[in-house]
């Protein structure tokens, strides 16, 4: 039964593999987590559970505890809000339908962005496809890799700060559900929802207390307040609201392999928070490797 077996620390609940925009395969990612000294990790690719099987198979051979998860793209007007979802049923029909819709919208959006960029830089959709693996959730990081390959940026981060920045003129949003609906979908599939990096620029403006209260009513479990991109003032405000609404606080790296400076285990989650999360997650079991 979930929750009775023991997990070990340190606990990092937010990582990406090549199934979305991380640079390592799920197996390589799990081995990297073991090498980094983690006792527990969650795999949270964008809008996809395609890496769960491979990550679980590797976790079983290494002794790390794996929490299957996903980072669900949601949207409030033009702002993207990321929802971490843990231990939900990956075959739940509503989740499968919604995440395929989001992945398809991401693909069309990436093609349109590349078309616009292509008017000013020698970049083609084929260049971007060369940077993705089949079925991967496509995002700006893959366009960034193509820009790097073409010599228009030195690193992913430089591409994000320049050509791919939202105000550079090429940015475009993509379809994603409202966070309230995503929370309902995750809970209906037995999962546990946590807002990712909620104190980053913009996100905290679109989640005033009144909206947060509605998300809590819909089943929000926690806020990822320990994350390098959270801003101090917004973070302090959200710590107060977490206390007021009984929300749990998580800490994670948001590791993307070599694609981002974030290092595994740079922020961690308290064991009692993971314990509560595992108790509430009924759609999938942790893998106790």
The nearer residue to ligand AMP, 37 or 261, going by C-beta atoms, is: 261
**Which secondary structure element, helix H or strand E, spans residue 129, and what is its range?**
helix 125-129
- Give the shortest CB-131-to-Zn ion separation in angstroms: 18
Q: Does 224 bind Zn ion (CB under 5 A)?
A: no
In the region spanning residues 80 to 139, those forming contacts with Fe ion, defined by CB under 5 A, are 82
Binds ligand AMP (CB under 6 A): choice among 103, 187, 235, 260: 260
CA gyration radius, the chain? 18
Query: What are 223's strand-pairing partners?
Result: 195, 249
- Choose among 47, 98, 87: nearest CA to 71: 47
Neighbours of 76 (CB within 10 A): 17
Q: Are 127 and 186 in contact (CB under 8 A)?
A: no
Q: Which residue is nearest to ligand AMP (CB)?
A: 139
Residue 140 binds: one of Fe ion, Zn ion, ligand AMP, none (C-beta under 5 to 8 A by kind) = ligand AMP
Q: Is 139 in the site for ligand AMP (CB under 6 A)?
A: yes
Give the number of residues in contact with Fe ion, rule: CB under 5 A: 3
In sequence order, the β-bridge partners of residue 121 are: none
Q: How far apart are CA 225 and CA 251, in angstroms?
A: 6
Which of 22, 254, 277, 284 touches Zn ion by CB under 5 A? 254
Site for ligand AMP (CB under 6 A): which residue of 66, 256, 280, 283?
A: 256
Q: Is the peptide bond before 10 cis (omega within 30 degrees of 0)?
A: yes
Q: Which residues sit at the interface with Zn ion, rule CB under 5 A?
A: 71, 254
Q: Which residues sit at the interface with ligand AMP, rule CB under 6 A?
A: 21, 139-141, 156-157, 160, 256, 259-260
């Amino acid at each position: 039964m979930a929750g009775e077996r023991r997990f070990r620390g340190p606990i990092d609940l937010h990582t990406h593999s090549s199934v979305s925009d991380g640079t390592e395969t799920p197996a390589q990612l799990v081995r990297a987590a073991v090498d980094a000294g983690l006792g527990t990790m969650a795999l949270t690719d964008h809008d996809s559970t395609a890496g769960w099987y491979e990550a679980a198979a590797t976790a079983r051979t290494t002794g790390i505890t794996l929490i299957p998860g996903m980072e669900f793209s949601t949207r409030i007007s033009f702002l993207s809000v990321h929802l971490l979802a843990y231990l939900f049923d990956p075959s739940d029909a509503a989740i499968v339908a919604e995440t395929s819709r989001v992945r398809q919208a991401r693909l069309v959006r990436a093609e349109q962005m590349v078309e616009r960029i292509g008017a000013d830089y020698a970049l083609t959709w084929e260049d971007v496809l060369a940077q993705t693996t089949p079925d991967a959730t496509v995002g700006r990081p893959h366009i960034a890799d193509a820009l790097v390959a073409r010599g228009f940026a030195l690193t992913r981060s430089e591409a994000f700060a320049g050509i791919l920045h939202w105000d550079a003129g090429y940015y475009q949003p993509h379809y994603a559900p409202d966070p309230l609906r995503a929370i309902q979908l995750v809970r209906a599939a037995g999962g546990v929802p946590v807002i990712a990096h909620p104190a980053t620029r913009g996100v905290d403006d679109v989640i005033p207390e009144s909206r947060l209260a509605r998300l809590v009513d819909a089943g929000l479990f926690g806020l990822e307040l320990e994350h390098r991109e959270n801003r101090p003032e917004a973070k302090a405000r959200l710590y107060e609201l977490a206390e007021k609404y009984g929300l749990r606080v998580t800490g994670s790296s948001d590791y993307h392999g070599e694609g981002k400076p974030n290092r595994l285990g740079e922020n961690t989650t308290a064991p009692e928070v993971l314990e509560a999360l595992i108790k509430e997650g009924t759609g999938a079991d942790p893998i106790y490797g």
